[in-house]
Amino acid sequence: MALLEVSNLRTTFRTEDGPVTAVNGLSFQLERGQTLGIVGESGSGKSVTSLSIMRLLSSNGRIESGSIFFDGEDLLAKTEAQMRKIRGKRIAMIFQDPMTSLNPVLTIGEQIAEAVRLHLGLDHEAARKRTIEVLDKVRIPSAHARLNDYPYQFSGGMRQRVMIAMALSCDPELLIADEPTTALDVTIQAQILELMNEMQQQTGTAIVLITHDLGVVAETCKNVLVMYGGNMVEYGSASQVFAEPRMPYTQGLLASLPRVDTDGRSRLQPIPGQPPNLLRLPKGCAFAPRCAQRLPVCDTPVPLFDFGGGHVCRCQLYAETTPLATVGS
């Protein structure tokens, strides 16, 4: 049984201009101990997916349909009290901005110890010990002294280490990291990615890494899920997706990236047009208006096609040559 199983998830938000469909029929699975990268541009629905799993949507957001099973349990059927027991303990989350996700008026020791006392039922002294232990693990220098420091006394990279320490303090089975290195400088990003890799090898926590940075995914994830207009358009192992991208959108993304490992002289190939308007998502392929290879049939809903070895893609170009995927379409 997969650790996380999302099927046909549809999440909408009420806005002044009408309902916005942020996630539109998304399905995927994650096995224990694996790393899944979810990539997409702004508005593709990747963050809303993670907030839906955590049941942390803002008050105007609603999960319209679909199901989210975690370790065989239906998360959408849980009460808020039951969810609170899962959040932070069995599923932990790291956010993009380590400054706004830490409480500025509590010391970091208090913030980590709170989670440990609540979820593991440790007493004051044991919680303090555990806190020092996890801070040591993420290599905060002289952890026992820094327990009493406030978030503002830490640099951006150190704060993200604190966030990771907090997330790992209760040995979660699933860690959702939403753009964990986007706010960091590149040398600090390298430190944090290395740390996350190491932590995963030690603890075996499954990770969902949400990012817009294809480089970060290529270097850290086993599997990649590409999102566009609220749904998955391609899924496969990192080597499949990066070596043989099938979806014109994935191909376009890779062609529009300047790379340091090539000669850097060829002209970039941008994807023309703008990202889709989520107020008026097309019935068919959301990428069709920007696609150079669009067909008349692209205006109708597109199923997933199966390229073997777990590599699937939602694109009519393959309708005649490739079998339909059996699950998750």
Number of neighbours of residue 153 by Cβ within 10 angstroms: 12
Among the listed ranges 11-19, 97-105, 111-119, 254-262, the one in contact with another protein (CB under 8 A) is 254-262
What whole-number distance in Å separates Cα of residue 213 and Cα of residue 39?
Answer: 7
Q: Is 257 in the site for another protein (CB under 8 A)?
A: yes
Characterize 4-21 residue by residue with b for buried, 16 or more Cβ atoms within 10 angstroms of its Cβ, and e for exposed.
bbbbebbbbbeeeeeebb
Which of 58, 187, 321, 326 contacts another protein by CB under 8 A?
187
What whole-number distance in Å separates Cα of residue 296 and Cα of residue 216?
Answer: 36
Q: Which of residues 263-292 bind another protein (CB under 8 A)?
A: 264, 267-272, 274-275
Task: Report in angstroms how near the CB of residue 228 gets to another protein at its nearest.
Answer: 10
Number of neighbours of residue 145 by Cβ within 10 angstroms: 10
Task: Report in angstroms how near the CB of residue 193 gets to another protein at its nearest.
Answer: 7
Q: Is 217 in the site for another protein (CB under 8 A)?
A: yes
* Pair of tokens at residue 38: 């979810």
What whole-number distance in Å separates Cα of residue 128 and Cα of residue 115?
Answer: 11
Q: Is 65 in the site for another protein (CB under 8 A)?
A: no
What whole-number distance in Å separates Cα of residue 140 and Cα of residue 136?
Answer: 6
Total residues binding another protein (CB under 8 A): 45
Which of 1, 81, 243, 292 contacts another protein by CB under 8 A?
243
Which of 42, 79, 321, 326 contacts another protein by CB under 8 A?
42
Residue with tokens 């390298």: 190
DSSP secondary structure string for all residues of 218-270: HHH-SEEEEEETTEEEEEEEHHHHHHS--SHHHHHHHHTS--SSS-S-SPP-P
Q: Find out whether 178 and 96 touch, Cβ atoms under 8 Å.
A: yes
CB closer to another protein, 119 vs 161: 161
Among the listed ranges 13-21, 108-116, 255-263, 306-314, the one in contact with another protein (CB under 8 A) is 255-263
Which of 177, 216, 232, 298 contacts another protein by CB under 8 A?
216
Q: Is 294 in the site for another protein (CB under 8 A)?
A: no
Task: Report in angstroms how near the CB of residue 226 gets to another protein at its nearest.
Answer: 12
Among the listed ranges 92-100, 167-175, 185-193, 302-310, the one in contact with another protein (CB under 8 A) is 185-193
Which of 100, 148, 153, 256 contacts another protein by CB under 8 A?
256
What whole-number distance in Å separates Cα of residue 161 and Cα of residue 190?
Answer: 12
What whole-number distance in Å separates Cα of residue 244 and Cα of residue 241?
Answer: 5
CB closer to another protein, 309 vs 323: 309
Angstrom CA distances, 70 to 134, 168, 170, 277, stand at: 25, 18, 17, 31
Q: Is 188 in the site for another protein (CB under 8 A)?
A: yes
Smallest CA-to-CA distance from 40 within 264, 324, 291, 287 is with 287
Which of 194, 198, 300, 323 contacts another protein by CB under 8 A?
194
Task: Report in angstroms how near the CB of residue 42 gets to another protein at its nearest.
Answer: 6
Task: Report in angstroms how near the CB of residue 239 gets to another protein at its nearest.
Answer: 5
Binding residues vs another protein (CB under 8 A): 41-42, 155-158, 185-191, 193-194, 212-219, 238-239, 242-243, 252-254, 256-261, 264, 267-272, 274-275
